Structure formats: C-alpha cells, structure tokens
C-alpha cells in the first residue's frame, strides 16, 4: 500500500507540530502549510490524500481551501478545525463540501477516528469497494433513470463522501430510507451498521434509553445494561426517520449528543464518545414544524446542514414502467409463478395515475393486482386505482391526482354516483365535449377518459358521457377498446 499523505494547514507552529506528531504516530506522511497560498501550492505539487485545515488563516479562510478542493480536486477529502463552540463555521464548511470538522482544543482520539474514516475514501480500502462510479453504484439499488433520479443519484455519490448531516425530505413512500441507506453504502462507513429508527414509533418514556442505552437498575425493568441506538451505530450511520415526531424533551438531548459526539446512558455517570453520522428524514415540512414551535430551530439547523429532496413519483413518470416491471418480477419470483404482465390499458392507467403514496403505493397496487388478475396479465380493473379526480395542480403538502389527458369535467359530472346523467363531459367551451357529431378520434379519447375515470365501470362511464349503456358498448366495440 502506498504511503498516505496528509496536508496540515495552520498558521500556529505549535498546532502544526502537535498534529504532525499525531499523524506520524498513525504511520502517515505529512506536509504542512501556514497559509492559503502555501496550501494551494502544496496541493498542486503533491495531491495529498487528505487535508486538515484551520478555519482562520492569515491570507484567507479554511473555506477557501474547501472550495478550491471541491472545484479542482473533489477526490481529496478536507476536514476543518474550528474554534471552540463555533458551530456556524463548522456548518458553513460542511455546506461548502468539507468532509468533517473538529473543534479546538482538538480531541486527539476523535481526530484519529476522523482521519481513519476519511482516508478510507482515498486509500487501499477503496479498491475493496465495489468498482463503479458512485452514480452507477446507486443504479442497481435505486431504480429510475428519469432526469430527476439521475441528479439524485449523482448527489448521493457526492454526499457519501462527506460526514455532513443530511436531511432527506419527500413525500411518504418516495424512497427516503432507500436513499439514506444508499448514502451509507457508498460511504467509508459502509462496513459499520446502518441503523434506521422510526422516531414516531418509540414510546416517549423509553426514548432516552432507546437512543442512549441504560445502566442496570437505572429504572424498574432495567435488569441489565443496555446499549442504545447511538452505540449500535458507532462508526456507522444513524437514520432518524420521521424526525419531526421527536418530542421536544428528546430533541434537546439529541442535539447535545450530536454536538458533543458523545452520549450518556440513562443511569450512567460518564459520557461515552460515539462516532456516528446522522441522516434524518420526514414527510412533514420541518420548516413548518419549526414555525409552529414543535421542532427546535437549533436542532433543525444541525440536522439540515445539507437538504436532499426525493422527488415524488408523479414528477418522474418515466420511471413508472421500470419500477412496475421490477416489482412484478419480484412478486413472480416470490410466488414462484410465471412472469406477470400488464395489459396496455393497465399500463396506460398506471402512467396516468398520480401515486400520492409514491413507490410504496405502486408496489402495493401491483401486489394486489397480481392476486386479482387472470392468465398472469393485469387488466386495468385489477389495479383498483382510486377514483381519479379532475385535473388539479398537485401540491407539495397534499398530493392530488393528476392525469396527462386534459379532458376535465366539473366535479359533479365526474361523480360516478351522480343520479343526473350529464349530457356532455365538459362544460368548458374551449375543450371538447361529446355530442353525437364529435369526430372519431376525439370521441375515442373521451371514451377512454371516461372509462379510466370510472375504473372501467361501463355503466358509470356511460352516465358520465351522457350516453346510454348500449351506445357506449357499441362504441367500445367499434374502437376496439374491449380487451377486458
């Protein structure tokens, strides 16, 4: 293995010397620089495996070095040394792309941990990692090739190279946990545990003990010492799912653990250092929760160093077919049955549906449809999609159903239970409506639309179109829509 070289950037000779000794004892080679200019020269000349920089330098700041490396040498991790208590500077450095930070006075064991983990990004261990670029790695586990997913995958690759806390937001079922896991799997922490925890599922009175562990006898029922989630995730990643559901009392304790990088078990006297990367997620808006006083701003600020959005499935319609095929294959394999196919109409309906429950909903729909279908082919009615409403703009808070065909009817007309059959499908004169003279293409489209809106219930579709059932049946045959 080639010798690992670390560049130490600090204007104080004493600190440079202390760091050099520490690194040399770890078997590492060192380079030093006393200001930004010298640092850039050293980087260009030697391309070190890691940089360690003070924030305040005579001719600039550590952030200048972080930015330079991000731009010119993104493969070189850089950690910053911040003044005691200056969290703002640490957060700024992480946002700029720093790998991690240590605060002064430098805690040497923590620094050693940091260096060891950071060097895995550039060291021999790299060759043990699956050979692929970060984004192609994510290709296998996170399906989707839409532009939104391509961007997401390449961002995951970058975030995996940092220790910064990431706050993942997105609608329920959109894949937040999958994304968090992927960040872990591509990170130097990949061999240590990934511990997902649903913060909303832990009873409030057990929360502290679940997170930090407890000592035997510290409360009734504590019959043995117990490790908490932080210890279980040591050297790995703790994924705080539904973090908005944490009670305020727990938020204070969590903030402390994150800031101190140490925890105190319930009933314990000593702090135990923990090396854990924190990822968090919620389908709620944390900003709203902060504004409503339900979530501490300081914790929000600490978790939300980097914000990553997982787009809802309706914003990446190109991925629906790919995901559907993947899930159908999985279902067929699990049940040891022949391949399950989607009929054309079923496919069309899936592409037109807005999936308020996102990828999880797609999987559930296909699971159910696979049990209902005959001859291993899923028909539109097997999907049992909820009634599709008229076109409304999807909102980020409450997803609405959207359809690509802009043939909308006022709500009372699309109500399949309406007792008064309408005479045409649309009251908006600028859009087509059915009359006995409507041309064939428009008529065919309108019929498909009405059938979809009523989940292929012909009686209701006829009502919706203002036709008799027999008229509709005739047209279904005429336009060869009758594959059901």
Name the site residues for ligand ATP (rule: CB under 6 A): 142-144, 170, 172-178, 241, 283, 359-360, 363
175 vs 399 by CB, closer to ligand ATP: 175
29 vs 315 by CB, closer to ligand ATP: 315
Q: Shortest gap between Cβ of 80 and ligand ATP (angstroms)? A: 31
121 vs 359 by CB, closer to ligand ATP: 359
Q: Shortest gap between Cβ of 363 and ligand ATP (angstroms)? A: 6
Distance CA(388)–CA(398), nearest Å, equals 15
Q: Shortest gap between Cβ of 298 and ligand ATP (angstroms)? A: 24
Q: Shortest gap between Cβ of 277 and ligand ATP (angstroms)? A: 18
Q: Shortest gap between Cβ of 159 and ligand ATP (angstroms)? A: 16
174 vs 379 by CB, closer to ligand ATP: 174
Contact 366, 406 (CB under 8 A): no
Q: Shortest gap between Cβ of 362 and ligand ATP (angstroms)? A: 8
> Shortest CA distance to 49 belongs to which of 147, 104, 126, 107?
126
Q: Shortest gap between Cβ of 149 and ligand ATP (angstroms)? A: 7
- Cross-strand bridge partners of residue 33: 9
Contact 111, 22 (CB under 8 A): yes
Beta strand 194-198 with 306-309 is unpaired
Phi, psi (degrees; rounded to nearest 5) at 189:
-90, 5
> Shortest CA distance to 164 belongs to which of 304, 296, 332?
304
Contact 346, 378 (CB under 8 A): yes
3-state secondary structure of 159: helix
120 vs 176 by CB, closer to ligand ATP: 176
340 vs 413 by CB, closer to ligand ATP: 340
The position carrying tokens 């009929």 is: 343
SS percent in the chain: helix, strand, coil, step 5: 45, 15, 40
Distance CA(161)–CA(77), nearest Å, equals 8
Q: How far is CA 385 from the centre of its chain?
A: 26
Q: Shortest gap between Cβ of 91 and ligand ATP (angstroms)? A: 25
For ligand ATP, which residue has the nearest CB?
A: 175
Distance CA(281)–CA(176), nearest Å, equals 7
Q: Shortest gap between Cβ of 222 and ligand ATP (angstroms)? A: 30
271 vs 367 by CB, closer to ligand ATP: 367
How is residue 402 annotated by DSSP?
Answer: -
170 vs 265 by CB, closer to ligand ATP: 170
Distance CA(377)–CA(375), nearest Å, equals 5
Q: Shortest gap between Cβ of 120 and ligand ATP (angstroms)? A: 26
3-state secondary structure of 40: helix
Contact 299, 290 (CB under 8 A): no
55 vs 197 by CB, closer to ligand ATP: 197
95 vs 368 by CB, closer to ligand ATP: 368
Distance CA(202)–CA(206), nearest Å, equals 7
């Amino acid at each position: 293995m080639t010798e690992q070289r670390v560049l130490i950037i600090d204007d104080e000779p004493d600190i440079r010397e202390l760091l050099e000794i520490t690194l040399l004892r770890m078997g590492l080679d060192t380079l030093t620089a006393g200001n930004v200019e010298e640092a850039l020269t050293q980087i260009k000349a030697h391309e070190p495996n890691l940089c360690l920089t003070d924030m305040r330098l005579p001719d600039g700041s550590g952030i200048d070095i972080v930015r330079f490396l991000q731009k010119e040498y993104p493969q070189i991790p850089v950690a910053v040394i911040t003044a005691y208590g200056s969290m703002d500077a640490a957060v700024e450095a992480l946002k700029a792309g720093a790998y991690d930070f240590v605060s002064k006075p430098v805690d040497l064991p923590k620094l050693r941990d940091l260096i060891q983990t950071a060097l895995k990004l550039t060291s021999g261990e790299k060759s043990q990692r699956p050979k692929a670029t970060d984004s192609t790695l994510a290709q296998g586990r996170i399906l989707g090739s839409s532009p939104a997913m391509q961007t997401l995958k390449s961002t995951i690759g970058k975030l995996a190279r940092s220790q910064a806390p990431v706050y993942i937001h997105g609608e329920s079922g959109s894949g937040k946990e999958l994304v968090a896991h992927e960040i872990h799997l591509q990170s130097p922490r990949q061999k240590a545990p990934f511990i997902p925890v649903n913060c909303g599922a832990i009873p409030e009175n057990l929360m502290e003990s679940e997170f930090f562990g407890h000592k035997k006898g510290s409360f009734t029922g504590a019959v043995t010492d117990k490790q908490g989630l932080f210890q279980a995730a040591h050297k790995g990643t703790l994924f705080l799912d539904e973090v908005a559901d944490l009670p305020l009392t727990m938020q204070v304790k969590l903030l402390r653990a994150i800031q101190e990088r140490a925890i105190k078990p319930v009933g314990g006297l000593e702090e135990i250092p923990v090396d854990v990367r924190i990822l968090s997620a919620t389908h709620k808006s944390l900003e709203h929760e902060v504004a409503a006083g339900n979530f501490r701003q300081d914790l929000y600020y600490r978790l939300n160093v980097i914000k990553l959005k997982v787009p809802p499935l309706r914003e990446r319609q190109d991925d629906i077919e790919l995901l559907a095929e993947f899930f159908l294959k999985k279902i067929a394999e699990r049940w040891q049955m022949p391949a399950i196919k989607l009929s054309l109409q079923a496919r069309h309906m899936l592409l037109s549906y807005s999936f308020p429950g996102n990828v999880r909903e797609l999987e559930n729909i296909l699971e159910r449809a696979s049990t209902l279908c005959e001859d291993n082919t899923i028909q539109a009615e097997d999907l049992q999609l909820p009634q599709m409403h008229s076109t409304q703009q999807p909102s980020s808070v409450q997803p609405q159903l959207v359809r690509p065909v802009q043939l909308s009817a006022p709500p009372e007309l699309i109500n399949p239970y309406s007792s008064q059959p309408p005479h045409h499908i649309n009251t908006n004169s600028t859009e087509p409506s059915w009359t006995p003279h409507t041309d064939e293409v428009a008529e065919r489209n309108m019929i498909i639309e009405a059938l979809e809106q009523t989940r292929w219930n012909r009686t209701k579709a006829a009502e919706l179109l203002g036709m008799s059932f027999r008229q509709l049946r005739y047209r279904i045959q005429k336009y060869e829509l009758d594959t059901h």
